[in-house]
């Protein structure tokens, strides 16, 4: 474990964690926000063949795991990591450098609700990303006990109205015909669909189950900006065997950087 120096603050301790079977080394707070399964799953909806040299915006990037996974798995792609917390943004920059991805991955530190000036300074235009991804905070701050760590609290808690702010920003940044995707708790599905309505079409819902026969614990919701195509529900994705091991296709994603099998992605 290490201490990490950020502008005006010190976060201690941090850990160095391996992703994609060791293809990425990511430093993140030991007791604060910690990226894991959800981030890697969301990144795995993209393939080098479909993304090519396109750019991906990772909204609310935290320490950068989603965008870094995309950049590592898709060697021609570029990624922009947008994060409001100065400590997490500093960790994201450190992770970009330590994984030698500075040529293709950049970090913009800003609150997405007030991002115009920061985006202009970084020469990033609205409606410029073919893909926009988001792993927003999962807990309504009016219904849950505040996390002991302020850093963990801002990373894991948000109110209902802020989910609409996230969807609006994703729509703003997606190119016409661009693809957006969000991973969230399964019980947030109705709220996500409400915020996507009128902004995205061709919506596809991927239920994610810890084990076969159990209710979904997560959903990945995708949409196409400007599309009028109807919604579809994909086959449920199961993560674990009854013995708690990853099923083979999930093992391939986490250990070998494989994409989701075709039936689970667009």
pLDDT band of 34, cuts 50, 70, 90: confident
Q: Assess whether pLDDT exceeds 50 at residue 33.
A: yes
> Backbone dihedral region of 177: left (phi > 0), alpha (psi from -120 to 50 degrees) or beta?
left
- Which helix H or strand E contains 165, and what residues bound it? helix 160-173
The SS3 call for residue 143 is coil
Q: Assess whether pLDDT exceeds 90 at residue 13.
A: no
Higher pLDDT among residues 255 and 139, named by residue: 255
- Percent of the chain predicted with pLDDT > 90: 82
Q: Assess whether pLDDT exceeds 60 at residue 256.
A: yes
How many helices and strands in the chain, by DSSP H and E? 9, 12
254 beta partners? none
Helices 189-196 and 160-173, packing angle to 10 deg: 40
**What pLDDT, in 10s, does the model give residues 49-105?**
999 999 999 999 999 999 999 999 999 999 999 999 999 999 999 999 999 999 999
- For 164-178, what is the mean pLDDT? 97
Q: Assess whether pLDDT exceeds 90 at residue 28.
A: yes
Residue 112: predicted pLDDT? 93
Please answer whether residues 260 and 44 qualify as being in contact, where contact means their C-beta atoms are separated by less than 8 angstroms.
yes
pLDDT band of 152, cuts 50, 70, 90: very low
- Which helix H or strand E contains 106, and what residues bound it? strand 105-109
Residue 137: predicted pLDDT? 84
Extract the tokens encoding 225: 């900006």
240 beta partners? 211, 246
From CA 179, how far away is CA 61, in angstroms rounded? 17
Residue 46: predicted pLDDT? 97
Extract the tokens encoding 54: 């396109």
pLDDT band of 156, cuts 50, 70, 90: very low
Angle at 166 between CA 153 and CA 190, to 5 degrees: 90
Q: Assess whether pLDDT exceeds 90 at residue 10.
A: no
For 86-116, b/e burial (b = at least 16 CB within 10 A) is: ebbbbbbbbbbeebebeebbbbbbbebeebe
């Amino acid at each position: 474990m290490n201490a990490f120096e950020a502008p005006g603050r010190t976060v201690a301790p941090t850990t160095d964690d391996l992703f994609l079977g060791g293809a990425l080394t990511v430093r993140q707070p030991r007791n604060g926000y910690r990226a894991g399964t959800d981030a890697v799953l969301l990144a795995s909806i993209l393939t080098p063949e479909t993304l090519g040299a396109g750019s991906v915006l990772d909204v609310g990037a935290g320490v950068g795991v989603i965008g870094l996974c995309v950049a590592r798995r898709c060697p021609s792609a570029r990624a922009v990591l947008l994060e409001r917390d100065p400590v997490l943004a500093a960790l994201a920059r450190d992770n970009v450098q330590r994984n030698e991805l500075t040529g293709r991955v950049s970090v913009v530190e800003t609150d997405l609700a007030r991002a115009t000036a920061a985006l202009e300074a970084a020469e990033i235009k609205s409606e410029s990303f073919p893909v926009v991804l988001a792993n927003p905070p999962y807990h309504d701050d009016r219904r849950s006990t505040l996390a002991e760590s302020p850093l963990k609290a801002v990373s894991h808690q948000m109110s209902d109205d802020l989910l609409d702010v996230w969807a609006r920003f994703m729509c703003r940044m997606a190119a016409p015909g661009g693809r957006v995707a969000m991973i969230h708790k399964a019980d947030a599905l109705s709220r996500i669909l409400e915020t996507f309505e009128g902004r995205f079409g061709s919506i596809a819902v991927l239920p994610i189950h810890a084990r076969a026969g159990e209710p979904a614990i997560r959903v990945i919701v995708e949409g196409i900006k400007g599309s009028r195509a109807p919604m579809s529900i994909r086959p449920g994705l199961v993560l674990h065997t009854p013995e708690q091991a990853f099923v083979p296709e999930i093992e391939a994603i986490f250990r070998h950087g494989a994409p989701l099998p075709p039936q689970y992605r667009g």
